Amino acid sequence: MQHNPTPPLPAHPTPPIPAGSADRSIVLVGLMGSGKSAIGRLLAHRLGLTFHDSDTVIEQELGMSIAEIFARHGEAAFRGAERRIIGQLLAGAPIVLATGGGAFIDEQTRALIRRTARSIWLRAPIALLLSRVVGRHHRPLLNQGDPAAILTALEAARSPIYAQADIVIDSTSEAPAMTAQAALEALTQFQPPEDIAVALADAPYRVLIGENLLTDAGKYLAAHLPQRRAIIVTDQHVAAHYLAPLQQSLTQNGFAHQALIVPPGEGSKSIAQFSALIEDILACKPERRSAIIALGGGVIGDLAGFAAASALRGLPFAQIPTSLLAQVDSSVGGKTGINSRHGKNLIGAFHQPRIVLIDSATLRTLPRRERAAGYAEILKAGLIAEPDLFEWCLAHGLAVIEGDAAAQRQAISRAVRFKARVVVADPHEQAPENGRALLNLGHSFAHAFEAETGYGAALLHGEAVAIGLVCALHLSAVLGFCPAGLAEQVAAHLAQIGLPNRIPAGSVDGLIGHMRNDKKMRDGKLAFVLARGVGQAFTDRGVPEQAVRATLRANGAGDV
């Protein structure tokens, strides 16, 4: 008998994926029998969109049933054809699309859907699924054994991935119209997080900003971390508020996870605490693809990030910042480190996160003083390079500190977009002039104030930065670069919103000594970021020491 080999599946180029818009397609995902086709038709009718079933389109295009495709070509070939056809369907005008049970499990197909559509997981109990699919000959995956056992295994394996869908709706034995109505209401209420790209050439990642992201943290982390195993690093204060919801979300999305809790405060950025944390991480037996999740403020982000950079010579790392300062500044850019008795952040590494999740709702439990300290970094961004942001701060800064949620989200977004642009242009602070180093406006002073007062004992980092901004602008005026009125304007604004604007303690000689230990020293010379005006910051490596001394004296430092 002559053997006629089965011809390969026809190959077509996958169409380019559109950038996305407000009018997105809706894609239904879930196990076989969850009602995707029936509910999809109802949704399409209600929304005035065209309905498609990807399995039906595949069968029509290839001229054979799904079961025949599996039998002749295997599942891998089917998934390739499925991915191509779903790409074609989503490349046009918005539609409602019901997909096969395994479509969303394919990583490339899932990424395509995430970029072009809103996804809905129709979650259904096994008993209901069995009642709908048993005895159907076009279900090839069920023809390999006991259907109940197969569906149960599929549910265990696939549910953590389905949970990455934008919306989860329970599909029940009630009329499909009721489930469709629930899906419509969820679509109306759905607010996707703001998505900001940090487009580094060697380590790109996303910053997601929104309210109550912690409840869905697991699905976002699952989409960006290489393994569903994680070690959470947090402090005692943050753990009391946010560790449980994060752990619950991780569990729901199939993560194995452990939590390590350190004392709160700047004191945890020490060699001793770093050593203890590394030992605790290694005791958890991480693999090279296991992730460290930093849940907390800037101290936790710096400490956990440095531990992630060091353990096993580098573990994947995610930031979930819970303080305003960490959300607008330290969580983005990959700088990690701890303090030494010689100065602040002198021990550390560049280690970029895989994703940053900013849940602005965490600011509700933040003390006003902490919110004010974080605000100083937003004001700094405006002074460096964004006059519009500076003017926005003058008008809305108090609202940010007093807890206005809309103002806080806008401030976070603007500050993160600014930081991302700077970091992408100069990832490792290697630009000879005026690159990422400009982010240090006020910091040469601030780090000296922190060292003098004991790292968090008297001044929060953001409070030190606020005073440092006044000093940097005062020094700029002393050197003739900008009008004296700018430092006075900033000092008055800080006083209005409740931030310190004068040096609380320290001698001129002592502060100069701390500055000489700063990592920004070059060739034994003090380096400062100065300004010619709002949005016109620059680096100066030739500042006379006497001018610095004059600024310190004028802003509260003594000569003793």
Q: pLDDT digit string (tens) for 333-342? A: 999 999 998 8
Are 305 and 323 part of one and the same domain?
A: yes
Average pLDDT of the segment spanning 186-198: 93
Q: Left, alpha or beta for 50 (phi > 0: left; psi -120 to 50: alpha)?
A: beta
What tokens does 48 get? 């005035």
Angle at 271 between CA 267 and CA 274, to 5 degrees: 85
Q: How confident is the model at residue 523 (pLDDT cuts 50, 70, 90)?
A: low
Coil, strand, or helix at residue 518?
A: coil
Are 156 and 209 part of one and the same domain?
A: no
- 538 membership: H or E segment, kind and range: strand 537-540
pLDDT of residue 135: 61
Dihedral sign of CA atoms 459, 463, 468, 474 in order: negative
Dihedral sign of CA atoms 268, 244, 237, 192 in order: positive
**Nearest residue to 303 (alpha-carbon basis) of 271, 258, 342, 332:** 271
What tokens does 122 get? 């129709």
Average pLDDT of the segment spanning 150-154: 89
d(CA 402, CA 413): 18
Q: With b meaning 16 or more CB within 10 Å and e meaning fewer, what string describes 488-504?
A: ebbbebbeebebbbebe
Are 316 and 353 part of one and the same domain?
A: yes
Are 211 and 347 part of one and the same domain?
A: yes
**393 part of a folded domain:** no
Are 161 and 229 part of one and the same domain?
A: no
The pLDDT of residue 101 is above 60: yes
Higher pLDDT among residues 170 and 21, named by residue: 170
What does the DSSP 8-state code read for residue 329? Answer: I
Higher pLDDT among residues 405 and 524, named by residue: 405
Q: How confident is the model at residue 245 (pLDDT cuts 50, 70, 90)?
A: very high
Are 239 and 293 part of one and the same domain?
A: yes
Q: With b meaning 16 or more CB within 10 Å and e meaning fewer, what string describes 103-122?
A: bbbbeebbebbbebbbbbbb
Are 293 and 338 part of one and the same domain?
A: yes
**What are the tens digits of pLDDT across the range 267-317?**
999 999 999 999 999 999 999 999 999 999 999 999 999 999 999 999 999
Dihedral sign of CA atoms 508, 509, 512, 513 in order: negative
The pLDDT of residue 448 is above 50: yes
What tokens does 463 get? 């409070």
The pLDDT of residue 22 is above 90: no
Cβ-proximal residues to 193 (8 Å cutoff; 6+ apart), any chain: 208, 209, 210, 213, 220
pLDDT of residue 47: 93
- The values of phi and psi at residue 19, to 5°, are -65, -20
**414 part of a folded domain:** no
**Nearest residue to 324 (alpha-carbon basis) of 415, 263, 262:** 415
d(CA 383, CA 369): 22
- What CATH number is associated with residue 452? 1.20.1090.10
d(CA 302, CA 455): 14
The pLDDT of residue 16 is above 70: no
Q: How confident is the model at residue 434 (pLDDT cuts 50, 70, 90)?
A: confident
d(CA 100, CA 433): 55
What tokens does 190 get? 């759905």
**277 part of a folded domain:** yes
**What are the tens digits of pLDDT across the range 128-151?**
988 887 765 556 566 677 888 888
SS3 letters for 63-80?
A: CCCHHHHHHHHCHHHHHH
- Structurally, how many domains does the chain consist of? 3
Are 47 and 179 part of one and the same domain?
A: yes
**Nearest residue to 316 (alpha-carbon basis) of 430, 227, 250:** 227
* Pairing of the two strands 205-210 and 194-198: antiparallel
**166 part of a folded domain:** yes
What does the DSSP 8-state code read for residue 26? Answer: E
**What are the tens digits of pLDDT across the range 211-223?**
999 999 999 999 8
Q: How confident is the model at residue 522 (pLDDT cuts 50, 70, 90)?
A: low
d(CA 497, CA 371): 11
At position 275, the amino acid (one-letter code) is S
* Pairing of the two strands 291-296 and 256-262: unpaired
- The values of phi and psi at residue 322, to 5°, are -115, -5
pLDDT of residue 423: 94
d(CA 142, CA 126): 13
Domain final position from 171, 189, 207 = 189
Radius of gyration of the chain (CA): 28
The pLDDT of residue 466 is above 80: yes
Instruction: Please state which of the ranges 1-5, 43-47, 492-496 shows the lowest mean pLDDT.
Output: 1-5
**421 part of a folded domain:** no
Are 141 and 200 part of one and the same domain?
A: no
Q: What is the mean pLDDT of the chain?
A: 90
**258 part of a folded domain:** yes
d(CA 439, CA 419): 8
Are 209 and 153 part of one and the same domain?
A: no
- What CATH number is associated with residue 167? 3.40.50.300
What does the DSSP 8-state code read for residue 215? Answer: G
pLDDT of residue 458: 84
- What CATH number is associated with residue 356? 3.40.50.1970
Average pLDDT of the segment spanning 76-96: 94
Q: Where are the alpha helices (DSSP H) in 216-285?
A: 217-222, 236-238, 244-252, 271-283
Are 224 and 322 part of one and the same domain?
A: yes
Q: Can you spell out the DSSP letters for 389-400?
A: HHHHHHHHHHHH
Higher pLDDT among residues 7 and 71, named by residue: 71
42, 79, 94, 110 from 86: Cα distances, Å:
20, 10, 13, 10
pLDDT of residue 75: 86
**504 part of a folded domain:** yes
Please check whether residue 123 is in contact with residue 170, taking contact to mean a CB–CB distance below 8 angstroms.
yes
At position 355, the amino acid (one-letter code) is I
**What are the tens digits of pLDDT across the range 367-378?**
999 999 999 999
At position 455, the amino acid (one-letter code) is Y
pLDDT of residue 175: 86
The pLDDT of residue 20 is above 60: no
pTM (2 d.p.)? 0.84
Q: Can you spell out the DSSP letters for 191-236?
A: -PPEEEEE--SSS-EEEEEESSGGGGHHHHHHTTSSSSEEEEEEEH
Domain final position from 366, 395, 419 = 366
Are 52 and 140 part of one and the same domain?
A: yes
Angle at 377 between CA 220 and CA 221, to 5 degrees: 10
300, 308, 401, 423, 458 from 419: Cα distances, Å:
19, 22, 20, 6, 28
Domain final position from 344, 366, 388 = 366
- The values of phi and psi at residue 463, to 5°, are -65, -40
Domain region containing 454:
433-554
**424 part of a folded domain:** no
End-to-end CA distance of the chain: 104
pLDDT of residue 146: 83
pLDDT of residue 429: 84
Please check whether residue 31 is in contact with residue 155, taking contact to mean a CB–CB distance below 8 angstroms.
yes
Q: How confident is the model at residue 3 (pLDDT cuts 50, 70, 90)?
A: very low
